[in-house]
Amino acid sequence: MMKHIAKEEVVIILDFLSHGYPFDTRPMHQKTPIVQAMGKNHFTLLELVPKKGVFLQPYEEVYIGEGKRDKIHHIVGKLSTEKLTQTARMELDQVVGSIVEKNEKRFVDFFNKAGPINTRRHQIELLPGVGKKHMWEIIELRKEKEFDSLEDIKKRVKLMPDPKKVIIKRILSELNEEDKHKLFVGS
C-alpha cells in the first residue's frame, strides 16, 4: 500500500537566495536562485527554484500546486530544519504563528476532536506543557460544550499554557523530528 503524501498548494517564503547557497562553489553563472519555503497546509519545508527574473520576499505566499505556477519554476524537494538558512530559521516561528492564527478553527478542532493514540497516551498529551490533568479537563469541558476559539480554551481550562503558543511549539518540535507522532506536520 502506498503512503499518501500530503501535497502543498501554497507556500510561505522563508528565505530567497538570489545567487543560490553561499556554500555552492560553482561559478556565479552556474548558480541557481533558491527559495526556502513552508507549506501552508502541512507545514512542509521545501526548497524551490523560482522562475527567471522572479524576486521573492519573506512572508510572500506563492502557489506551487499542479496548475500553472507564475513564480516557481520547480520544486527541488523537502528540506530538514538543519538545511534551513539562518534567515529562514529566524522566520520560522513567525510564519508558523501566522498560519496558526489564520487557521484557528483547524487547531480548535484538534482540541475538540483529538483522541487516544493508544491505551496509555492521548493526542492532547503530545502538546508541550499539557499533561494528564489538563487532558482530562479538556475532555470533560468539550463534552459540555465544544471550544469555539483558542481564547475560549485559555479561559475555560484552568492554568492551561497559552494554546496558540503550545501549538506553535508542537509544530516546531515536529519539524525538528523530535517525536515520531505527527499531529500537524505532513498531515
DSSP letter at 123?
A: G
Expressed in angstroms, the distance from the first to the final Cα of the chain is 17
Same domain, 57 and 108: no
Tell me whether residue 47 is exposed, middle or buried, using C-beta atoms within 10 angstroms of its C-beta: 0 to 12, 13 to 18, 19 or more.
Answer: middle
Taking a C-beta distance cutoff of 8 angstroms, is the pair 164, 172 a contact? no
Look at residue 118 and tell me if it is in a domain.
yes
Measured distance CA(177)–CA(67) in Å, rounded: 31
Look at residue 91 and tell me if it is in a domain.
no
Same domain, 57 and 20: yes
Domain total of the chain: 2
With cut-offs at 50, 70 and 90, classify the pLDDT of residue 167. very high
**Residue 17 pLDDT exceeds 60:** yes
Higher pLDDT among residues 1 and 157, named by residue: 157
Look at residue 94 and tell me if it is in a domain.
no
Domain that holds residue 40: 10-83
Look at residue 186 and tell me if it is in a domain.
no
**Residue 46 pLDDT exceeds 90:** yes
pLDDT tens per residue across span 62-84: 999 988 999 999 999 999 999 99
Measured distance CA(67)–CA(79) in Å, rounded: 23
Measured distance CA(77)–CA(64) in Å, rounded: 12
Taking a C-beta distance cutoff of 8 angstroms, is the pair 36, 14 a contact? yes
Taking residues 149-167, report their average pLDDT: 95
Look at residue 19 and tell me if it is in a domain.
yes
For 103, what's the count of Cα atoms within 13 Å in the CB-facing half-sphere? 17
Taking residues 157-176, report their average pLDDT: 95
**Residue 1 pLDDT exceeds 50:** no
Look at residue 140 and tell me if it is in a domain.
yes
Q: What is the CATH number of the domain that holds 111?
A: 1.10.150.280
Q: Kindly state the cell numbers that stand for 99.
A: 498560519
**Residue 22 pLDDT exceeds 90:** no
Q: What is the CATH number of the domain that holds 33?
A: 2.40.50.140
Cell 502557489 locates to 63
Residue of 132, 138, 92, 130 whose CA lies nearest to 113: 138
Measured distance CA(101)–CA(93) in Å, rounded: 12
Q: How many helices (H) and strands (E) does the chain have?
A: 5, 5
Same domain, 78 and 123: no
Taking residues 147-166, report their average pLDDT: 95
**Residue 187 pLDDT exceeds 80:** no
Same domain, 72 and 118: no
